[in-house]
Structure 1
């Protein structure tokens, strides 16, 4: 979207969530935004706004999340922002904010994440930040004037990420740094730190990435190092002494530009490093070090044998060139074939970042089985860490999988064209010969199905479950109605919804997605997806519209509030099929009996609203299912839910009582052995084409299979 933001947006006074990120809006932010006093989420990042932040935004007393990174908004942060006492997260990097960092931010005691960077702020960093004891993420970089010590962080012992790069920090590393037990990433590079590196810093168990290069630190290296600390940059300081034994066990280590001592006992530990120290005089005519001596007699002997050596060398060089040409021709033919494969795979649409296979092998420790997250139809998925400290999930295409290669291409084409808070982010891919890999952001809470149906180590309370339903609906509404062309996911299910650290849902796995022309009412295609989530008209006739995703969402919503899969033979007979049970409870005015018994507290009004929406979404006729934008409005209470009286025909027409045993034990015409939900399901699992390469009207999905679709679940 483009153009200026209209002033009448201030009339939406009941609005609680407003996300305008990743558009092309321009002009100034209207002051009328200050009328949205119920707003708790505002995102204006990645736009072309200009001007300053309206002081009226200080009226949004309920605002707890503000994202304005790359928005174009500049100037000083208004003093009225002191009223935003409920602020939890504020991102404001890569936008021209200026002036001093306001002292009143130190009064936002609920703040858990603050990111400033790429601005023109002046120091010092306010000492009032001492009060922000709830912070887990703090990034303040590129301060232009006014130095600060690290005294203001002494109460921030909950930090997991601290980045104060190029922030004019002076003094010593705090003596209590060992108390920051959850710290994973520390970046204090390009500052003016002095003193020694305390051993307590290297002993933090959680620390994985340490960057303190370009300071004035001195003294020896600590003798011990935490096991997880695998990325260390100590370059361009004044460190001295010899090397402890751990220097050979670190994945990435930068020690150049220091004053370390080298002798016969340690020069081989880090080869070549002695040439890159402050006190070493290098040879200007050669990239190598000065040779210690020159043997004159040996030089004379070499000169005497010059003619004989020249003849031998000439013959050897000629043979080597011929051999090289032959080898080149062989590899050229092979590489041309592999490059053609890559061109076919990436020949359309925007291209993501390209990783080398060596990068990903290093990130996953050569695809160590201990890093394996799971495996689906596409192939195995591994956890890894890039050299910059980012944790990733690497999906590896199994060799010889033609279906997987199609999904690989489709996923790149689809997901690189869309960006939304509730869609998983693709960092890039790797295509080298027969190796095809996708690189995603990693979510440590994994997928929704593992939380709901797994060992339940992570308990989801009612507000979290409701927000997962709402966030998933928003992601689908974006795909269906805001993306151009619109996208039908085709495989919405609990295992394809990931949960980030804040338990925000992220729709993943676009391998089966279809781009949908607005001019077409529907398309006919081979049936693909996961049984238990397929809409009837799609399962039987291959009739595809966005209402197929709406149906799947309704099933997922019922799973979220009930805490169970859409079918389970371990339950009483009347509860085996979730949809059928939900309708039975609805018809007897006992819908709240569907709620997960582990939820001791829940909002009854919201619960009934979610159930009502789910029953509308799973209607037999796609015409009776609401679009996802209306689903969002109904969940957010911006639109009332009409009476749900039409029981789906697929529940009334099929006689489950007589056929349950045959569904469970008989031979059914499906590819159930290839279903996407398997034992230890990967968080990036792939679904199955139920009838690949077959005309949809000839697809062998009969009445028995439709019942299986409803019955089998997950």
Structure 2
């Protein structure tokens, strides 16, 4: 989080004697120049509810003894140089609401989280590995970011339980399997699943009203569902989608209801749009490197390359 009042940018190390502050309920050093490891004796401050030592230079492992702080609600050790794994004892912390350990060097797998009041997990930019067991994350979660790790395996059973999610970022991992259509009905405002190995059809059950959906750089296939045409920023590029672009996308794009529609690098065969149509200034449409000549588009991102269409041989193979 941002700087909190009361932290003048402290430097040095945290003295193990801090554990003698038995009545301490909140410790916040954000940001600072604290070095060394987090003393295990912090767990003696049994009244601690809020522990934030983020944006410092803390190294070493997260003390397993922190799990003894049974009343701890927020643990924020983000933006440090922590190593080792996340202690299972942290996952067992019964009152935990916010766990923010992003931007460290943590490895190992995700522990099982038992707190039924846990609403926020942010572990992005670490070196976490392994699969996520279906019951390891509680249904109370509203914010989940696991981006930029090396996590593997399917997430469909995990996600189906998390029907209170408002923000999901699983991007830049090695997740596999299908994405359940039901998650598009969750109260999500931002769904980031890009750069994984997800595959299969994308089949929402109803109109999707999530403002931003990024499914790019995966292995999704089949036709693009017209139920996605209410999404304001939709990134489906670099997948294996086939068929025609549904007319509902064209209507909403020309009415300036879609801001970003990235469909480049798929196997799409057509879009019904007047080449003389005026795409609103606020909207972006990229269609290149599909199995058609783009009738019209706005400037594409540099990564899309300069080739307008996919080689015919690739398109024939894909149809075959």
Q: Secondary structure at the match of 1:72?
A: coil
The answer to whether the aligner puts 1:235 opposite 2:216 as a matched pair is yes
What is the aligned partner in structure 2 of residue 258 from structure 1? 239
Higher percent of residues as strand: 2
Contact kept? 1:34, 1:60, Cα under 8 Å: yes
Contact kept? 1:211, 1:233, Cα under 8 Å: yes
Aligned partners of 2:5, 2:36: CA distance in 1, in Å? 19
What is the aligned partner in structure 2 of residue 119 from structure 1? 104
Contact kept? 1:238, 1:259, Cα under 8 Å: yes
Aligned partners of 2:231, 2:40: CA distance in 1, in Å? 49
Deviation at 1:173, TM superposition (A): 2.1
What is the aligned partner in structure 2 of residue 287 from structure 1? 306
Aligned partners of 1:188, 1:82: CA distance in 2, in Å? 26
Deviation at 1:57, TM superposition (A): 1.2
What is the aligned partner in structure 2 of residue 168 from structure 1? 150
Contact kept? 1:196, 1:219, Cα under 8 Å: yes
Q: Secondary structure at the match of 1:58?
A: helix
Q: Which runs of 5+ in 1 are unaligned?
A: 1-17, 293-714
Q: 1:537-616 counterparts in 2 under 5 A?
A: none
**Deviations for 1:254-303, whole angstroms, at most 9, x for unmatched residues?**
111101114486697489855423894899xx8351599xxxxxxxxxxx
What is the aligned partner in structure 1 of residue 129 from structure 2? 146
Deviation at 1:35, TM superposition (A): 1.5
Please, which of 177, 183, 208 is the counterpart of residue 165 of structure 2? 183
Aligned partners of 2:306, 2:92: CA distance in 1, in Å? 55
Q: Which runs of 5+ in 2 are unaligned?
A: 254-259, 269-288, 294-304, 312-320
Q: Secondary structure at the match of 2:59?
A: coil
Aligned partners of 2:245, 2:141: CA distance in 1, in Å? 42
Q: Secondary structure at the match of 2:106?
A: strand
What is the aligned partner in structure 1 of residue 73 from structure 2? 88
The answer to whether the aligner puts 1:64 opposite 2:49 as a matched pair is yes
What is the aligned partner in structure 2 of residue 203 from structure 1? 185
Please, which of 108, 120, 131 is the counterpart of residue 137 of structure 1? 120
Contact kept? 1:19, 1:41, Cα under 8 Å: no
**Deviations for 1:39-83, whole angstroms, at most 9, x for unmatched residues?**
111101201111111222121111011011102222112233232
CA distance 1:278–1:67, shift in 2 (3 Å): farther
Aligned partners of 2:206, 2:152: CA distance in 1, in Å? 25
The answer to whether the aligner puts 1:276 opposite 2:258 as a matched pair is no
Q: Secondary structure at the match of 1:81?
A: helix
Deviation at 1:226, TM superposition (A): 5.6
Number of positions where the alignment pairs a residue of Structure 1 with one of Structure 2: 269
What is the aligned partner in structure 2 of residue 456 from structure 1? none
Aligned partners of 1:224, 1:33: CA distance in 2, in Å? 54
Contact kept? 1:150, 1:174, Cα under 8 Å: no
Q: Secondary structure at the match of 2:96?
A: coil
Q: Calculate the aligned-residue CA RMSD, in Å.
A: 3.1
**Deviations for 1:375-417, whole angstroms, at most 9, x for unmatched residues?**
xxxxxxxxxxxxxxxxxxxxxxxxxxxxxxxxxxxxxxxxxxx
Deviation at 1:197, TM superposition (A): 1.4
Aligned partners of 2:19, 2:206: CA distance in 1, in Å? 51
Q: 1:389-538 counterparts in 2 under 5 A?
A: none
Deviation at 1:87, TM superposition (A): 0.7
TM-score (norm 1): 0.35
CA distance 1:225–1:171, shift in 2 (3 Å): farther
Aligned partners of 2:310, 2:47: CA distance in 1, in Å? 70
Contact kept? 2:171, 2:195, Cα under 8 Å: yes
Q: Secondary structure at the match of 1:183?
A: coil
Q: 1:556-705 counterparts in 2 under 5 A?
A: none
Please, which of 26, 34, 57 is the counterpart of residue 41 of structure 1? 26
**Deviations for 1:180-233, whole angstroms, at most 9, x for unmatched residues?**
3321111111112222111111122x2221111111111122143465411100
Contact kept? 2:156, 2:177, Cα under 8 Å: no
**Deviations for 1:545-589, whole angstroms, at most 9, x for unmatched residues?**
xxxxxxxxxxxxxxxxxxxxxxxxxxxxxxxxxxxxxxxxxxxxx
Q: Secondary structure at the match of 1:27?
A: strand
What is the aligned partner in structure 1 of residue 83 from structure 2? 98
Aligned partners of 2:127, 2:261: CA distance in 1, in Å? 36
Aligned partners of 1:274, 1:146: CA distance in 2, in Å? 31
Higher percent of residues as helix: 1
Contact kept? 1:47, 1:70, Cα under 8 Å: yes
Q: Secondary structure at the match of 2:220?
A: strand
TM-score (norm 2): 0.75
CA distance 1:41–1:237, shift in 2 (3 Å): same
Aligned partners of 1:291, 1:31: CA distance in 2, in Å? 63
Higher alpha-carbon Rg: 1
